Amino acid sequence: MTPDQPVVQIEGNAGDDAVRPFQVEALDVRGRALQLGPALDALLGRHDYPTSVSKLVAEAVVLAALLGTSLKFQGKFILQTKTEGPVDLLVVEFRTPGDLRAYARFKAEAVAEAEAAGEATPGKLLGQGILALTIDQGEEMQRYQGIVALDGGSLEDVAHTYFRQSEQIPTRVRLAAAELMVREDGRARRHWRAGGLLAQFMPSAPERMKPRDLPGGDLPEGASIEEEAGEDDAWQEAQATVGTIADIELLDSDVPVDRLLFRLFHERGVRVFDPVPVRDKCNCSRERIAGILRQFTAEAIEASIEDGRIHVKCEFCGTKYDYDPAEFLGNPEDRAGADGEGTTEAVPGADADPPPGS
Ligand SMILES: [Zn+2]
């Protein structure tokens, strides 16, 4: 292969539930692509969310997987929203190397109304509020958090805003999720599928990342640099190419990500790297939740007792735990050993609705 020929190296198939990193050298673009199948079906199957909420969670899971797989060290990537819409809390956690869990809290009536009105898009379900993206790579490393305002736009828009404001890397994201009917042994079964692609412009000369005809610094409110004339030609081409991705290409198992990447970039040459498998896996445990309960005041523990026991359900995976209250009501010194984990760690419900007195 001569150097001026495109590099097309696509061997095998990343398949479902694996993030495929890629690079288009000719356009100075790096990115990741993903199709979620069985892992997403299992994750959503643990919950009984209305369809529109499941779709929102699915898109958020794809986004978290695309962003989380950029972590270079062991750690967690957390996407969390706090909004006034029908879904007022959404948490997706990605833990290296590829564990995903998610939880949405919603007002059933408001979701049903939005669905009936045909307004149950992910953006509208969230409504006004904030989205926080947190990178937590353990005690040795500083926790990093970027916050973006939410105002009813799509999660793609939110991702673009985040990268423009916080990372200052020109970025394009495509996300799609749907529940599809699949024939299996002559019977129709519903399956959730989702997919996404993230492309970032990372030229070796950083000045190419800035729009040519616009002054540097903050843009006026509401302004957008995307698709603005004056952007680097390579990035304009990459954005236009990513813009051609149809939802079905991100969902259809007959168009795996490698085929999609080939379709998009074969003329320029695309190189793919080892896929990173992701899975539906919660990390709650008896001991971890006990650690959270140990941080509760005695009053809060008393208030949580039901039939002589404390019942806790992990909101991420639905696992139920129950404890003898005596474990948490003894001499405070006997209760030492709280592991210092935040309450959002395993029981988002406990964080959102603290028991009286805590
Ligand atoms: Zn769990």
Q: Give distance in angstroms: CA of 319 to centre of ligand 1.
A: 6
3-class DSSP assignment, residue 84:
coil
- Gap from CA of 66 to ligand 1 centroid (Å): 22
285 Cα: distance to centroid of ligand 1 (angstroms): 7
Q: What is the DSSP string of 151-165?
A: ES--HHHHHHHHIII
CB-based contact 318:103 (threshold 8 Å): no
Q: Hey, is 70 helix, strand or coil?
A: coil
Name the H helices within 217-314.
Answer: 233-243, 247-251, 257-265, 286-293, 298-304
Quick check: 195 pLDDT over 90? yes
* Residue 85 near residue 107, CB atoms below 8 Å: no
User: From residue 101, how far is each of 65, 192, 248 by CA, in Å?
Assistant: 10, 15, 24
- The environment of the single-atom ion ligand 1, i.e. residues with CB closer than 5 A, is 282, 284, 314, 316-317, 319
Tens-place pLDDT, residues 32-55? 999 999 999 999 999 999 999 999
Sorted by where each starts, the structural domains of the chain and their CATH numbers stand as: 8-280 (3.55.30.10), 286-352 (3.90.1280)
Is omega for the bond preceding 97 within 30 degrees of 0, making it cis? yes
pLDDT digits (tens, 9 = 90+) for 151-174: 999 999 999 999 998 888 999 999
Task: Summarize the confidence of residues 266-290 as an average pLDDT.
Answer: 95
- pTM for the full model? 0.84
Chain mean position to CA 316: 14
* % of the chain at pLDDT higher than 70: 83
Task: Give the tens place of pLDDT for each residue, 235-253.
Answer: 999 999 999 999 999 998 8
Q: 316 C-alpha vs ligand 1 centroid, how far in Å?
A: 5
